[in-house]
Structures are given as C-alpha cells and as structure tokens.
Structure 1
Amino acid sequence: MSVELHAVDTGGEGTPLVVVHGLMGSADNWRSHVKQWHRKRRVVAVDLRNHGRSPHAPGMRYADMAGDLLACLDRLGIERCHLLGHSMGGKVAMTLARQASQRIASLIVADIAAIRYGHGHDAIFAALHHVASHAPSNRREVDALLAEHVEDKGTRLFLATNLERRDDGRMGWRLGLEHIEAGYEAIRDLPDGEGAYAGPSLILRGGRSTYVTDEMLPGLRELLPRAELVTLDAGHWLHAESPTEFQAAVNDFITAVEG
C-alpha cells in the first residue's frame, strides 16, 4: 500500500521538475534550489516515507518508494515530469523511470550508482539513537550528543535538519528511524525494476565523492544508455557544496532536452 507523500509544490507552467532527497534528507534541504528553479517552471519537492513531513510506514524497498512517488504524481495531476533524485532518492528515481518511463521526460541522478553499497551509516544510526535516548532540550545539546558518534560538523548539521520540538519541549527526530533502520538492507540495494531507461538522462557526481567512481559508470550506463556525465568539484552533497554549478548543470540539461 502506498504512502501519501508530503510535497512542496510551487505551481507554475510547463513540464514540472520533481526533486527527491536522499537518506535522512527532506524537501526542506532543497528550499533554495526550488526557489531558483521556480523562476522558470513548476517544481515539486517530495518527502519520502519516513522522512520529513511524510507518514512513517514499514518497508524501504525502492519499488515501494517509487510507488509512493507515482501515486504522488497522480494526486498532483502530473502526467510527465523531469525527475531529479539525489543519493537514495536517485535510486528511487531510477526505479520509477524503469517502471513508468512514459511519465519521465528526463532523469537526473545525483551522486549515486546502480550498485549495492556497503554499510556506511552505523555511526549515524548510533548517533540518532543516542540523541533520542537523552531527549535534549536544545540544539546545542543535540550537537554535543551527535558529536560523540559523528566527528564531521557538516554531517551533524545535516542530521539536525530532522529535529522537531515535541509537546513536552524536548527535541526529537521526525524521522521514522525504526523503519529506516529495519529497511537499511533494502536501501543499500540496487534500484528495482527491469531493463534500461531509454530517455534522456544526466549523471551528476561529486569529484571528491566515492559514491560514483569511474568503475561504477559502466553499470550506470547499462541502466541509462543515453546518460550524459557531469563531474562537479564537490563531495556527496554536491547540491549543497557547489550550488551554483549544480543549478547550472541541471538547467543546461533540461533546456537541451526541451529544445
């Protein structure tokens, strides 16, 4: 059964750009980009299940999340869209492009490959549980607790975007952490679906990221045979680290697709 996703919809004319965040992310992380893209088109940024303001539900298979996204497009009356997915959201996007290619005008995959990744979030899960068990009262306390497991300040700031203040005044996570952790093996896995997406596609990767190495490109090109490749001087969060270059690459690609 699909989950009714929360979506930020700017409204507007033309073929919409639909944006899908990565693991532990949300539509909120894309606010500045959505504002820029809205100057030219309708933009929809979604919260995947167990993220942001969307409902919590078991199951993190890519087929399930792509089904949620397709139901969201139907609800918003979007027959065809440009689809952009970052990290885990890129695998959701690739899955939907395989399952419903007629709905996808073009596909943009940001810093994720079509492979099964190793365990890379054990410290983050430990940090999130550590914060939850202490029920801190402010963000300074949250950061101190996160720092016991996560050294990188940027990662801690990113995780803190998932905080909410509870009715008792304490800080907690709006993530469906139990379902995400239970579904982590599915999150690590390949995109679901069969065959290739034959439409126009763009692979955007960070030159300082290890998520899309040269060795991973042949597998991506099997799934996306028409893919263009753009490498930015950035790490995994390339849209946050090189926002101007990221905007330009997306805009140039969509402009070329639309002729």
Structure 2
Amino acid sequence: MILHSNVIGEGNPFIILHGFLGMGDNWKTLARKFSESNFQVHLVDQRNHGRSFHSDEFDYELLAEDLKNYCESKRMSEIILLGHSMGGKTAMLFASKHPDLVKKLIVADISPRYYPVHHNIILEGLSQLDFSFVKTRLEADRVLEEYVPQIGVRQFLLKNLYWVHKGELGLRINLKVLKENVSEVGEALPPHAIFEKDTLFLRGDRSEYIMENDEMLIKRQFPNSQIITINNSGHWLHAENPQEFYVTVVNFLLIN
C-alpha cells in the first residue's frame, strides 16, 4: 500500500515527514512557503497516522520501506527529505539505506540516539476519548485536559479528530497499535546507518531532544552535517518559530 500525501507546488521533490501522533497537514503552511522556492512539497502521512493505511506492524524499518515504496510510486529521485522527531528518525534511516535517492537531509529536533518512552500520559488521555459520549471537539478537549494541561499540545493532538459520519467523531491515528508499539518510537538508529551527504540538524533552544553530548554521535553517523539552533522554540520548533525555521532550511537548500 502507498502512503497518503498532499502535494503542494511544482519543482524539485521535497518530502516532509511528521512526528509521532501528527500528520502531513501539520506542515501545510510551511509547505506553501517552501513551494515558492521551486520545490514540489510532499506532505506524507506515515503508516497508522493521518489518512495513510493502518497496520498491526510498526517500526522504523517498515516506515523507511513505506517511504521507498512512495518514492517509487511517484518515480522520484534526488529528493530533499525533512523529518521531525519520529519522522526525523525515519528520514535518517531512509537516507542511510538509500543515499542515492536523497540529495539533502534535514532532521528537526531529534538525534540518532535512544529515547525512553515518554508518551504514555498522552496516549492514556487519547484512550479516554469515548466517542459514544464525546460528541464535540470541545468535549474531547475537556477530557484530554485532565491528562495534557498544555493547550498547544492538546490542539496538536485534536487535529487527529474527524467525522466518521454525521454525529460521530473518531481518531485518524491507529491508537491501539501505536500504544502497543510506542517503545519503537524511541529506538536508536543502528550504529552502521551512515549518510555522508549534506545534512542539517535543527534543534529548539528550549528543547532537550538534541543535547551537546549528542553532537559526537551525530557527526559519527552524519559526517557532513551541521547543527543549528532555532531560537525561541521547543520541540515543535517549526510551529513555534516558523520564520526562522523556514529561512534556515532554505539557506541550507540553496547552497550548492
């Protein structure tokens, strides 16, 4: 099966991979901006997310294989590949496995290392959304608020709501499988996974996902990489400071 995508613009192929519990549409505003610089932007929903297919299997090898199938279906080569968080891990693995297909790689606020599971409270909150009783987005927000006090995070999560049919809400994510496989999200990139082409790592100045002691590992597996900090931003750096994020990415892409 081929991943769902929203394609914006014309020009050089540029694929964006969202993070855990996200979807390609989260990037629509930035995609329109990138398309103005002669890029055809593909906002891809990874398996068990957005409008893409659901599967009982979920790990980075499969996510990278899904992306390979997507590129083949679109007859794309020499892509620009950007991934955020979980999408960044997928992008790193894909680039290391298929360096001939990736012209430049951008990784947003994630390093190749292992991360312990830290989504349990969010997943529990989403599990409490009983849509036989929850009939509006406001009601869903009130349920989630007991587990996720940050309004910005709740707004991000509630983008997964959709109308299954009139009067009944549902979640686009495959919540059951994602809960069962949440430990896969933090898995480290294999140590033999190396990508030697131009790579840009972006980190938020208020985020702890890329720390100073990650830099040696990043350089070992991505020897032609640079790490740039986006100001006034945390883990969702592309949403918190989109202008600086956009300018930094475009400057990187337009060099050479």
Smaller-chain TM-score range? over 0.9
The alpha carbon displacement at 1:225 in A equals 0.8
Q: Does 1:121 align with 2:108?
A: no
Q: TM-score, normalised by structure 2?
A: 0.96
Amino acid corresponding to residue 247 of structure 1 in structure 2: Y
Cα distance in 2 between the residues matched to 1:71 and 1:166: 28
The alpha carbon displacement at 1:247 in A equals 0.2
Cα distance in 2 between the residues matched to 1:96 and 1:238: 22
- Gap runs ≥5 in structure 2: none
Indicate conservation of the 8 Å contact 1:63/1:192, yes or no.
no
Give the secondary-structure state (helix, strand or coil) at the position aligned to 2:36: coil
Indicate conservation of the 8 Å contact 2:136/2:169, yes or no.
yes
The alpha carbon displacement at 1:170 in A equals 2.3
Corresponding residue number in structure 1 for 2:247: 248
Give the secondary-structure state (helix, strand or coil) at the position aligned to 1:56: coil
Kindly report the root-mean-square deviation, in angstroms, between the aligned alpha carbons of the 2 structures: 1.3
Cα distance in 1 between the residues matched to 2:174 and 2:191: 25
Corresponding residue number in structure 2 for 1:137: 135
Structure 1 segments (4+ residues) deviating >4 Å: none
Indicate conservation of the 8 Å contact 1:88/1:187, yes or no.
yes
- Gap runs ≥5 in structure 1: none
Q: Does 1:36 align with 2:26?
A: no
Amino acid corresponding to residue 158 of structure 1 in structure 2: F
Indicate conservation of the 8 Å contact 1:63/1:193, yes or no.
no
The percent identity for this pair of structures is: 33
Give the secondary-structure state (helix, strand or coil) at the position aligned to 2:103: strand
Cα distance in 1 between the residues matched to 2:85 and 2:154: 18
Corresponding residue number in structure 2 for 1:105: 103
Aligned residues: 254
Indicate conservation of the 8 Å contact 2:79/2:103, yes or no.
yes
Cα distance in 1 between the residues matched to 2:20 and 2:235: 12
Cα distance in 1 between the residues matched to 2:185 and 2:132: 27
Cα distance in 2 between the residues matched to 1:56 and 1:253: 35
Cα distance in 2 between the residues matched to 1:181 and 1:156: 18
Q: Does 1:49 align with 2:47?
A: yes
Alignment of 1:184-199 (within 5 A): 184-192=182-190, 194-199=192-197
Give the secondary-structure state (helix, strand or coil) at the position aligned to 1:197: coil
Cα distance in 1 between the residues matched to 2:230 and 2:168: 39
Indicate conservation of the 8 Å contact 1:83/1:107, yes or no.
yes
Q: TM-score, normalised by structure 1?
A: 0.95
Give the secondary-structure state (helix, strand or coil) at the position aligned to 2:71: helix
Corresponding residue number in structure 1 for 2:58: 60
Corresponding residue number in structure 2 for 1:182: 180
Instruction: Give per-residue Cα distances to partners, 1:88-131, cap 9 Å, x unaligned.
Output: 00000000011100000010000001111112111101100011
Give the secondary-structure state (helix, strand or coil) at the position aligned to 1:85: strand
Indicate conservation of the 8 Å contact 1:80/1:104, yes or no.
yes
Cα distance in 2 between the residues matched to 1:221 and 1:173: 39
Cα distance in 1 between the residues matched to 2:218 and 2:130: 37
Indicate conservation of the 8 Å contact 1:49/1:65, yes or no.
yes
Corresponding residue number in structure 1 for 2:234: 235
The alpha carbon displacement at 1:20 in A equals 0.4
Indicate conservation of the 8 Å contact 2:93/2:193, yes or no.
no
Cα distance in 2 between the residues matched to 1:210 and 1:27: 24
The alpha carbon displacement at 1:132 in A equals 3.5
